Amino acid sequence: MRENVAVTGIGLVSAVGGAVTEVFDAVCEGRSGLVRPPADHALHGVVDVAAIGPAIDPESVIPAKDARIVDRSIVLAVRAAGDALADAGIEVGRDVDPYRVAVVLSGVGGLGTLAGQAVERSRRGRLGVSPFMLPGTLPNMAAARIAIRFGVRGYTSSVGTACAAGGQSVGEAMRILRAGDADVVVCGCTEAPLFPTFADAFGNALALARGWSDPTVASRPFDRRRNGLVLGEGAGVFVVERPGFARARGARVHAEVLGWAATSDAYHPTTPRPDGSSAAESMRLALRDAGLSTGDIGYLNAHGTSTKAGDAAEAKAIRSVFGDGMPPVSSTKGVTGHLLGVSGMVEAAISIMVLRNGLLPPTYNLDDPDPACDLNHVRKEPLPARVGAVMSNSFGFGGHNVSLILGPAS
């Protein structure tokens, strides 16, 4: 078993809140973030339902001279990173050498900027395209902007594994810390995908929830009537540290990352391997990395997107790993929607709150469990349970599978 890492800071931006306690209360109480896009939103009339994050003034997180040229995804990322660093009580340069801090911050990139610039080029020709489009759309720019804003001068990168990117960013941060290449890593994901062209691609692929008169019931992981995911936006950032470094500076530790693993389906660009075998292997490898057995996991936060194929494949994977000794399982996307790569961050944060509060959030809208998703579901209401370790799964287009295991601070 290799060294754990300490989670000392959490910053979230989502349709159900920013403070981790607010997000946890929402998923426990069923306070949904799913709405029909209002008339002034880009997705009005395009999709039936979305998980829309809060309005944030760019100048509140980015210097005024740059605020007008940054994409919303960057604004969300810098806000979440600032909140996470404040939560950790870290000021780069004061509390830690800037060269001993790393950033691993992922996401699709500046879809809104790209969409807007395509319109300008169509309207005005070549001269309508801004040179600022490049730093507005590149997927590494959220990481770069965080480094610029907070003075981070160590290793900086992004992970491009679609909806597994948030979970994998935490894993890559763990790899960096275990290797001794940093003392602190700012890691996470940001997504601002709520634009017509992107949404239409999901809709034409029949991947979006549709036909629900009440938007709050549209996302229904593992339910027999599920018919697609609900697109969401937001950001999630952790500050993680070497445990010895965190102890030396007297940091409060929320939880520890005990282990992680990633595998590939090697099957199809968008469809998961139906038998869930590669997803199952990511869970087994994460357990091995943490030095734990299946019986040590007291709760599993599933990826559970509310798609027919994805939920069924994940259910097979979970059952093949845990069998009849399966821990309680839930997907919190019934309340939060699917924030793409950010989901792994929000769900890891929820898993940390499970460890702290001894309460397991249910899968909301799971009214009629699909027999193809035969799991030990937490349904209807939260389940009191004191657990010693939790698993959080994230899976992405391209067949990327990531499993994280978290435990209480030692």
Q: Which residues are registered as beta bridge partners of 238?
A: 10, 187
pLDDT digits over 350-386, tens only?
999 999 999 999 999 999 999 999 999 999 999 999 9
- 184 touches 104 (CB < 8 A): no
- 388 touches 256 (CB < 8 A): no
Cα 390 to its chain centre, rounded Å, is 16
Residue 139: the pLDDT is 85
Query: Domain spanning 260-407 has what CATH number?
Result: 3.40.47.10
- Distance from C-alpha of 59 to C-alpha of 267, rounded to nearest angstrom: 44
Tell me the domain boundaries of the chain. 5-248, 260-407
Q: What is the pTM of this model?
A: 0.95
- 332 touches 30 (CB < 8 A): no
Report which residue type is found at 151.
G
- For the chain, residues with pLDDT lower than 70 are 1
Its CATH architecture, for the domain 5-248, is 3-Layer(aba) Sandwich (3.40)
Nearest 5°: phi and psi at 229?
-90, 165
> Is the torsion defined by CA of 12, 17, 21, 23 positive or negative?
negative
Same fold, 5-248 and 260-407: yes
Residue 1: the pLDDT is 53
Q: List, by residue number, the catalytic residues.
A: 163, 303, 338
